[in-house]
Structure 1
Amino acid sequence: MIGRRGQWVAEPQRPSGGDIRGLTGLRAVAALWVVAHHFWLFSPESPWLRPLQPLWPLLEAGWLGVDLFFVLSGFVLTHNYVSVMGSRATARATAGFYRARLSRIWPTWMVVLTAATAGLVVKQLAVGMESTETRLDAVTMLRQVFLVQVWDRPDYAATGPVGPGWSLSAEWLAYVVFPALVLVLHRLRRLRPVVLGALALVAVTPFAYGCLAMGAHDWRWSWLLRLAGCFLAGALVALCVARVPLRPGATRAATRLTVVSSVLVLAVVWWADAIGRDHAGVAVLLFPVLVASLALTDGGLARPLSTPAMVLGGRISFALYLVHMGVFEAVWTLMDIAPSLQGGSVPAVTLQLALPLLPLPAAWALWRFVEEPARLRLRAPRPTAPATGPGSAVCAAAGAEAPVAVGR
């Protein structure tokens, strides 16, 4: 950049190292949105839930957390790997990528899968509950172990003991194809930011149009359309952000966009509820804008999202997603079989009020004692490569990778 007196002045850049805290906090928001959605959707009828009725449009649309996480996933992986794998996907680089991904998701997944399966067996044998949806045969369980349970299914309902695990299976499919995708992304990285941004919006348009045209977000193979569109949109947003010079004008515009895009997401959710149609999926058009703006500024909504509490929430978001339904179901089962926890007794009301928060300590423990130790023990050497482009420091700032699969 040329200064007023003709001297060359370096573009202002975000300090390298660490992660983009605003995006880490956004992961916490997406995870909590899904948790709230599932609690609202599956909770037994309770009088104390009625005061939450004004928030029902937001709770009903909580399935959108999965789409937001897929955008974040595409963004983070592209930031971390496009420079080191994009020119040519060598066997060593590809193996390192898969090892890094597996070290993040598989140990935690196996712990949760084992606990959920054991809980289901106990529920069937001790309580006498028979499930017509969840099968525990050898083929089903092997599909769970290898995370392929949803790959050949047009729907994602009842795919195993851990219901929300469908999106982890979808995320693993994205990881499988990513080394090939990154070769294309590497060749697109020099396009102008406006072109990359437009392509990101195009990527999520088919799913948004389907929601608008059919008045529903769940149809045959919709999970695959969501995965492909949102993941690709996040990847293109990462390329776009890397091309944007971090000048004061761009930062101010990004700060405003964090607020505007968030308000518009809420507007779409309430609009869909007001007309009585499942059009909330149109909001996916705003997710690439929200992620890009948070990556380019420390102001606006990035400030509250960057607080220590939100960043910690983002760190445990993967574990929170995996354990929350198990915690809910365990407590609901206990309330069904324990007379003292039924009706309007003090213990029953106390447990009902505390239940939405109980997945948080369980998620922290899973993250602290399983996810992080496994990642540190199994991780591959972190890839490094010289970053290029005016936004290269932003690329470096996305370094802290994380699994981000979340879904209904």
Structure 2
Amino acid sequence: MAGTSRPPRGEIRGLTGLRLVAALWVVAHHYWLFAPAQPWLRHLEPVRPLLESGWLGVDLFFVLSGFVLAHNYVTVLGSRPGVRAAVEFYWARLSRIWPIWMVVLGVVTAGLVVKQLGAVGAAESVSRIDAPTMLRQVLLVQVWDRPDYSATGPVGPGWSLSAEWLAYLFFPVVVLVLYRLRGCRATVLGALALAAVTPFVYGCLALGSHDWRWSWLVRLAGCFLAGALVSLCVHRIRATVPAGAAERVAAWAAGVAVATMVLVLWWADAVEEDHGGAAVLVFPLLVGALALTDGGPARLLSTPVVVLGGRISFALYLVHMAVFEVVWTVADVVASLGGGSAPATLLHVVGLALPLPVAWTLWRFVEEPARLRMRRIGPRPAGVAEPRASGGESRPPEEAGATVSALVGQTA
């Protein structure tokens, strides 16, 4: 039956490029919120609604993550329960996020200790970075029992990895249901995807805020499930709609999704309410459309430089706040770099761009080598090729650029 054929696997370059957009959105959001006042920042006022809503990178990445995992694992894990298959899945995901997380956690924690020793003395430093807190960071469970995801450890973005690790733990069970839904009509799957994010959207509109008790869990569950359902929807469209027609409509739909998102954000700003979360309803449409076409916005997102940016986006997300803190600390310590002087402006502008080369370095020399090494020494998912470390390496399809790690932002 056409609806049950194995879905195509491999990199979807438009979605890889979208990772960079989402990561830069989060980076810009944090800079806008936390950077010391600088005269040049006032020139960004026309795009303030976009900068203030950068927390939506959280939701976009969860939708992407659900899509990519379903795209690669529904037919591998979904036919029947299996402990070995689940363990192989967990190892694959852990090899993606844990090594670079440990490096960033160690460096940031060491820097924080040094900074606090210089500022307030050893006793207070030790009390702020205690052993139980650090153990929770290492195990990636720091947010699981917290209704509020802020201040869960020395690396602010770590809460999102903890949330995504929770999603990974449940995914082998969820995929059993997804496997049995894959034959539904595309319209039904699309409607279910929208329904999955509706609780969070309703909360934003009803409460006038995107941040309430356990909101992180509502966002994680709804967006992750929405992305998985969109993956099934895309597969059904590919199986039942002529390719040319699907691509033309998808290119148009992606443009409409972007325009709608912008309109929602400016509307939310105009009414002076935290209603920007309503834009989450557009994300399933945007992700699904980009997966179906190489035209429209996907053309730009698929260019080599943007795709490379998507591949380093996990590292970019993890280190950007730490890099900003270093730059801002230097500005505080060196008197000539304070205020709105020309050297100070130059420092802050350079500091805004600095996370990109730092992220590339981490991706090239830590994230990728460590992932490949862990994959070689551990179990590999059924039906997935073994990675090789040579220049012509063969990557597991879920790792080949379309993979979405937990690159969600530390919201205000």
Counterpart CA distance in 2 for 1:403 and 1:299 is 25
* Deviation for aligned residue 1:405: 3.0
Give me the TM-score of the superposition, normalised by structure 2.
0.90
Counterpart CA distance in 2 for 1:397 and 1:160 is 32
Counterpart of 1:156 in structure 2 is 149
* Deviation for aligned residue 1:382: 4.6
Counterpart of 1:71 in structure 2 is 63
Give me the TM-score of the superposition, normalised by structure 1.
0.91
**Pair 1:44-2:46 in alignment:** no
Which of residues 65, 69, 84 in structure 2 aligns to 1:92?
A: 84
* Deviation for aligned residue 1:346: 3.3
Post-superposition CA distance 1:243-274 (Å, at most 9, x none)? 11352222111010010000100110000000
**Pair 1:337-2:333 in alignment:** yes
Q: In terms of mean alpha carbon deviation, does 297-306 or 239-248 score higher?
A: 239-248
**Pair 1:141-2:140 in alignment:** no
Counterpart of 1:405 in structure 2 is 407
Counterpart of 1:6 in structure 2 is none
Which of residues 12, 28, 45 in structure 2 aligns to 1:20?
A: 12
Counterpart of 2:177 in structure 1 is 184
Which of residues 359, 367, 378 in structure 1 aligns to 2:355?
A: 359
Distance 1:90 1:397, change over 3 A: closer
Distance 1:397 1:141, change over 3 A: closer
Counterpart CA distance in 2 for 1:154 and 1:404 is 19
1:211-360 alignment, distance < 5 Å? 211-245=204-238, 246-360=242-356
Which of residues 17, 22, 26 in structure 2 aligns to 1:30?
A: 22
Post-superposition CA distance 1:144-171 (Å, at most 9, x none)? 0000000000001100000111111100
Counterpart CA distance in 1 for 2:159 and 2:55 is 13
**Pair 1:110-2:112 in alignment:** no
Distance 1:141 1:66, change over 3 A: same
State the one-letter code of the partner of 2:370: A
Tell me, yes or no, if the aligned pair for 2:319 and 2:355 is still in contact at 8 Å. yes
* Deviation for aligned residue 1:38: 0.2
Tell me, yes or no, if the aligned pair for 1:251 and 1:296 is still in contact at 8 Å. yes
* Deviation for aligned residue 1:403: 1.6
State the one-letter code of the partner of 2:407: A
Tell me, yes or no, if the aligned pair for 2:31 and 2:352 is still in contact at 8 Å. yes
Post-superposition CA distance 1:68-114 (Å, at most 9, x none)? 00000000001111101101131211111010001000000000000
Residue correspondences, number: 387
Counterpart CA distance in 1 for 2:271 and 2:318 is 33
* Deviation for aligned residue 1:349: 1.7
* Deviation for aligned residue 1:399: 6.5
Equivalent residue of 2:148, what SS?
coil
Counterpart CA distance in 1 for 2:262 and 2:284 is 15
State the one-letter code of the partner of 2:172: P
Post-superposition CA distance 1:198-247 (Å, at most 9, x none)? 00000000000110111100000000000000000000001111111352
Q: In terms of mean alpha carbon deviation, does 87-96 or 197-206 score higher?
A: 87-96
Equivalent residue of 1:243, what SS?
helix
**Pair 1:174-2:179 in alignment:** no
Counterpart CA distance in 2 for 1:190 and 1:49 is 51
Counterpart of 1:391 in structure 2 is none
Counterpart CA distance in 1 for 2:274 and 2:340 is 34
Counterpart CA distance in 2 for 1:405 and 1:332 is 23
**Pair 1:195-2:177 in alignment:** no
Counterpart of 1:80 in structure 2 is 72
> Where do 5+ consecutive residues of structure 2 fail to align?
385-395
Tell me, yes or no, if the aligned pair for 1:81 and 1:383 is still in contact at 8 Å. no
Counterpart of 1:376 in structure 2 is 372
Distance 1:182 1:17, change over 3 A: closer
* Deviation for aligned residue 1:334: 1.2
* Deviation for aligned residue 1:284: 0.4
Equivalent residue of 1:155, what SS?
coil
**Pair 1:207-2:200 in alignment:** yes
State the one-letter code of the partner of 1:229: G
Tell me, yes or no, if the aligned pair for 2:61 and 2:404 is still in contact at 8 Å. no
State the one-letter code of the partner of 2:277: G
State the one-letter code of the partner of 2:58: V
Tell me, yes or no, if the aligned pair for 2:89 and 2:380 is still in contact at 8 Å. no
Counterpart of 1:128 in structure 2 is 120
Counterpart CA distance in 2 for 1:237 and 1:46 is 42
4+ residue runs over 2 A deviation = 15-18, 127-132, 343-347, 380-385, 396-402
> Where do 5+ consecutive residues of structure 1 fail to align?
1-9, 386-395
Post-superposition CA distance 1:2-24 (Å, at most 9, x none)? xxxxxxxx99x9x9664000000
State the one-letter code of the partner of 2:54: G
